[in-house]
Amino acid sequence: MRPSAAVRLALAGTRTDALRVVLTTASGALATVVLLLAVTVLAIPTPGKPGDTSSDSWSRQYRLELLVEPGLRPGVVIALVLLAVPVLVLAGQCGRLGAPARDRRLAAIRMAGATPRQTAMLAATETGVATALGALLGLAGYLAGRVLLHRPDAEGRLLLPTDVPPPWPGIGVVCVGLPLLAMAVTVVLLRRVSFTPFGVVRRTRTRAPRPWPVVLVVAGFGLISLLQPLARWADRRHWTLPVPLFPILLFVAVLLAAVGVVVGTGSVSHAAGRILHRFARRPAALLAARRLMADPWSGSRTFAVLLVCVLFGAGAAAVRAWFASDFATSEEASRWMARAQGQPYVPRDTSFYFDSMDLVNGVVGVATALAAAGMLVAIVEGIVSRRRAYASLVATGVPRGTLARAILWQTFAPVVPAVLVALVAGAALPRGIAGESRAGGGSTQYCVGDWDLCQDPNSPNLRTLEVPTFAHTIPVPFADLAVVGVGALAAVLLVVGAGLLVLRSATSVDELRSA
Amino acid sequence: MILQARGLVRSYGATPALRGVTLGLAEGEILAVTGPSGCGKSTLIHCLAGILRPDAGEVLYLGQRVDTLSEAARSKLRRGAFGVLFQFGQLVAELTAAENVALPLMLAGTGRREARTAALSWLERLGVAELADQRPGEVSGGQQQRVALARALVTEPRVLFADEPTGALDTLAGEQVLGHLVRLAREQGTTVVLVTHEPRIAGYADRELTLRDGVIDATGMGLTDKAVGA
């Protein structure tokens, strides 16, 4: 098949197909902008000598301190790449829109003589073309945005790195890599799909999910809990551990926990279904329970990204509590020392840390909104794909309210425990590194009067001060965690409510006639 | 008359499906509605069962208007006094056969255990008790229809609406399902409206009514004065 024919056939379809292409294009454009921003941040030139971490290496032309210090930029890049993940997942969910109509079209193309491989490629081509278009639009938008947002303030500082052109290799990787990645993901997702001339057959997994993802979460926690003993062990032997060891171990631990939480959603859904089935007394709960048990994967895929957002949100809340506790403890020690030395206490400016955490919270908020949009698409698609079964139930007298409650149960039964697990995991990970804030301790020397009087180590003006240790347990940020958890559940409730708006049309008696 | 229809009119956009259908059913009667594809059979049964509202005309159950009832009231009627059986697709794929049959009872407020007991009893009567814990996808089409029939009858409805109940089955399975349907309807005195396009199936009914282009075909085979003169 010629590429032009493949593109024509891939993009042929109804208005729903057009909507799917438009949403995929929009998601691709958004992901391109985010990734190009990440590439640009990586390309910010560092003044001074290579390896210099002093203030000489700072890029002071930016207002945002996270961009000023070279050491903080990898964190910004990671945050931007992570932000692209829910965008891409949203694109994946959009790919499920109008699936029945697309399946019929692909079956007709098979009937006309296309091979299964060609048919699968057509499905992948649609995604690839839409994402490539999105990448081009995203690039155009990014370049236009660079010009529009290049507005230095009164001190000549910039909000974003609009003074740095994104490097061409980076642009190439993003704009070519993203469509290829989208096509590859589509092909992988189609591995359980058989295209036949009579329809598209999806092989669903019938066995219950294995609980092995728990091992990943436990391994993540185990690794985190090893960090403090490892540091103490090395300290006792006066060994200097390699500088990147702790960040790498921390990253691996967070990754293990995050992957465990995401992959474990299938197990959570299945377990929630089993428990619900045991205690279900009403039809809505029974329907939800059986649906969760029959296909725990389809439901769980929809909220996996949301759980990662909760994990990061809870982690950010715990880190903020850690910062606050550390600063409060060191302030307590500093005040004590200033008072003992008879000097005025000058408070330390900690706004940078809290501003950075606000930024992290903002990113988590945006990612949560994107994850919720993906859930909305999945819920609507789930209702539409089961419209005949729902219409039959309504025709036999099942109230739509029962079906709506079943969908609510089906969504919330796994989401509530999974959100709790993600909250606990997210909050516990930073506590694995530090459960207590400490300041002071040991002795320090200070000079009574001018320092010139204390040049001689035996000077009577030189005093030694025994500083007590100030230690506080880092509090669990219950209020912040509640905001994260309730926020996530409220987003899910909103999404289910919006999704249920299509239930009435999906259960119309006309659906009984379109078997 | 347990069920009456007077001058039913129903269109889909500009396409008329029913053009003034009038009929009546006596208690315990089995009426077959036949006719070619697109003649309005399914629309008629949907209007009679309160699934669809007619554009004009009225449907009466025990003398009470059905078409003017609220959506909720009509739904309640369909899970109590009426039973509905379709060609296929009415069973919930994820529920077991027993749970599918128990569903209408649970919707009516019966406890899960009692509903299951009743469901097992109906599955037994239909000869599919051994399938109680199987899901619809794990049994044959004929067995699925027997489970669906058990679900339609479990609330002991006074009227059963069956829309092409054997349309997706082979001859033998179809005969078995119809045999059960007619036997149980007779035993319970249930009135049955049976839509079919197969004359052979219509032979199970007390009366046959033929629809053509949305009106009762007065020249149709098997039509009795009783059917048109309601």
User: Are the C-beta atoms of residues B53 and B8 closer than 8 Å to each other?
Assistant: no
Q: Please give the Cα distance from B158 to B156 (Å, whole number).
A: 7
- pLDDT score recorded for residue B221: 45
Q: Count Cβ neighbours within 10 Å for each residue of B74-98 and write b for 16 or more, e otherwise.
A: bbbbbbbbbbbbbbbbbbbebbbbb
Bridge partners of residue B208, in order along the sequence = B32
pLDDT band for position A120 (cuts 50, 70, 90): confident
A487 pLDDT higher than 60: yes
User: Are the C-beta atoms of residues B167 and B135 closer than 8 Å to each other?
Assistant: no
**Mean pLDDT calculated for residue range A144-165:** 87
Could you say which of B79, B106, B151 has the minimum Cβ distance to residue A286? B106
DSSP strand pairing (B207-212 vs B30-34): parallel
A297 pLDDT higher than 90: no
Q: Please give the Cα distance from A272 to A413 (Å, whole number).
A: 6
Q: Average pLDDT of chain B?
A: 87
Q: What is the DSSP string of A382-404?
A: HHHHTHHHHHHHHHTT--HHHHH
User: Based on the structure, what is the number of domains in chain B?
Assistant: 1
What residues contact A50, with CB distance under 8 A and at least 6 apart?
none
CA distance A480 to chain B (A): 39
Chain A contact residues (CB < 8 Å to B): 280-283, 286-287, 290-291, 293-295, 388-389, 392-399, 402, 509, 512-513, 515
Range with the lowest mean pLDDT among A89-98, A154-163, A226-235, A431-440?
Answer: A89-98
Higher pLDDT, B65 or A255: B65
Convert the pLDDT of each residue in B188-226 to its tens digit. Answer: 899 999 998 877 777 888 999 999 998 988 654 444 444
* Interchain pair A397, B77: CB under 8 A: yes
Higher pLDDT, B159 or B167: B159
Interface probe with B: pick from A278, A295, A396, most Cβ of B within 10 Å = A396
Neighbours of A255 (CB within 10 A): 13
Work out the percent of chain A whose per-residue pLDDT is above 70. 90
Give the domain range for residue B101: 3-228
Give the residue from A141, A422, A117, A492 showing the smallest Cα distance to A257: A422
Give the residue from A54, A58, A78, A76 showing the smallest Cα distance to A68: A58
B146 pLDDT higher than 80: yes
Q: Please give the Cα distance from A296 to A291 (Å, whole number).
A: 8
- pLDDT score recorded for residue A339: 87
* Interchain pair A290, B94: CB under 8 A: yes
Convert the pLDDT of each residue in A156-204 to its tens digit. Answer: 888 888 888 888 999 999 999 999 988 888 787 777 777 777 666 666 6
Q: What is the DSSP string of A452-476?
A: GGGSSTT-TTEEEEEPPEEEEEPPP
Q: What is the DSSP string of A206-229?
A: -SPPPSTHHHHHHHHHHHHHHHHH
A92 pLDDT higher than 90: no
Q: Please give the Cα distance from B120 to A90 (Å, whole number).
A: 45
- pLDDT score recorded for residue A340: 85
CA distance B52 to chain A (A): 7
**What are A98's two structure tokens?**
């109008």
A364-368, long-range: CB < 8 A, 24+ apart: A364/A309, A364/A312, A364/A313, A364/A316, A364/A484, A366/A83, A367/A82, A367/A83, A367/A85, A367/A86, A367/A305, A367/A308, A367/A309, A367/A312, A368/A306, A368/A309, A368/A310, A368/A313, A368/A487, A368/A488, A368/A491
Q: Please give the Cα distance from B160 to B8 (Å, whole number).
A: 20
DSSP single-letter state for residue B32: E
CA distance A265 to chain B (A): 19
Distance of CA A267 to the CA centre of its chain: 20
B53 pLDDT higher than 70: yes
Bridge partners of residue A196, in order along the sequence = A199
**Mean pLDDT calculated for residue range B32-58:** 91
Q: Specify the residue for token string 């319970």.
A: B188
CA distance A410 to chain B (A): 13
Q: Count Cβ neighbours within 10 Å for each residue of A486-508 and write b for 16 or more, e otherwise.
A: ebbbebbeebbeebbeebeebbe
In this prediction the ipTM stands at 0.80
DSSP H helices, B20-167, are 41-48, 71-78, 97-107, 112-125, 141-153
Distance of CA A422 to the CA centre of its chain: 12
What residues contact B138, with CB distance under 8 A and at least 6 apart?
none
DSSP single-letter state for residue A507: T
DSSP strand pairing (B159-163 vs B82-85): parallel
- pLDDT score recorded for residue A227: 81
- pLDDT score recorded for residue B97: 94
Q: Please give the Cα distance from A508 to B72 (Å, whole number).
A: 14
- pLDDT score recorded for residue B220: 45
Distance of CA A457 to the CA centre of its chain: 56
User: Are the C-beta atoms of residues B212 and B44 closer than 8 Å to each other?
Assistant: no
Nearest CA in chain B to A294: B94
- pLDDT score recorded for residue A416: 92
Q: Please give the Cα distance from A74 to A62 (Å, whole number).
A: 16
pLDDT band for position A435 (cuts 50, 70, 90): confident
3-state SS, residue B182: helix
Q: What is the DSSP string of A422-455?
A: HHHHHHHHHHHH-SEEEEE-SEEEEESS-GGGGS
Which CATH number goes with the domain that contains B47? Answer: 3.40.50.300
**Mean pLDDT calculated for residue range A109-116:** 77
Q: Specify the residue for token string 């600063």.
A: A327
* Interchain pair B95, A286: CB under 8 A: yes
In chain A, where the domains are located: 1-203, 208-435+477-515
* Interchain pair B88, A397: CB under 8 A: no
What residues contact A316, with CB distance under 8 A and at least 6 apart?
A357, A360, A361, A364, A426
A256 pLDDT higher than 80: yes
Q: Could you give the C-alpha distances from A74 to A40, A70, A97, A314, B77, in angstroms and in order?
A: 12, 8, 36, 21, 65
User: Are the C-beta atoms of residues A498 and A421 closer than 8 Å to each other?
Assistant: no
Q: Could you give the C-alpha distances from A73 to A78, A284, A318, B35, in angstroms and in order?
A: 9, 50, 22, 75
Work out the percent of chain A whose per-residue pLDDT is above 90. 21
- Check if B94 contacts A (Cβ < 8 Å): yes
User: Are the C-beta atoms of residues A256 and A216 closer than 8 Å to each other?
Assistant: yes
Give the residue from A131, A107, A129, A123 showing the smallest Cα distance to A186: A123
- pLDDT score recorded for residue B222: 45
- pLDDT score recorded for residue A15: 66
H/E segment holding residue A514: none
DSSP single-letter state for residue A158: B
CA distance A204 to chain B (A): 13
- Check if B49 contacts A (Cβ < 8 Å): yes
Q: Average pLDDT of chain A?
A: 83
Nearest CA in chain A to B116: A281
- Is A57 exposed, middle or buried, given 0-12, 13-18 or 19+ CB atoms closer than 10 A? middle
- Check if B76 contacts A (Cβ < 8 Å): yes
Range with the lowest mean pLDDT among A13-27, A280-294, A473-487?
Answer: A13-27
**What are B107's two structure tokens?**
């919707």
A5 pLDDT higher than 70: no
User: Are the C-beta atoms of residues A125 and A157 closer than 8 Å to each other?
Assistant: no
A–B: how many Cβ contacts below 8 A?
80
- pLDDT score recorded for residue B226: 42
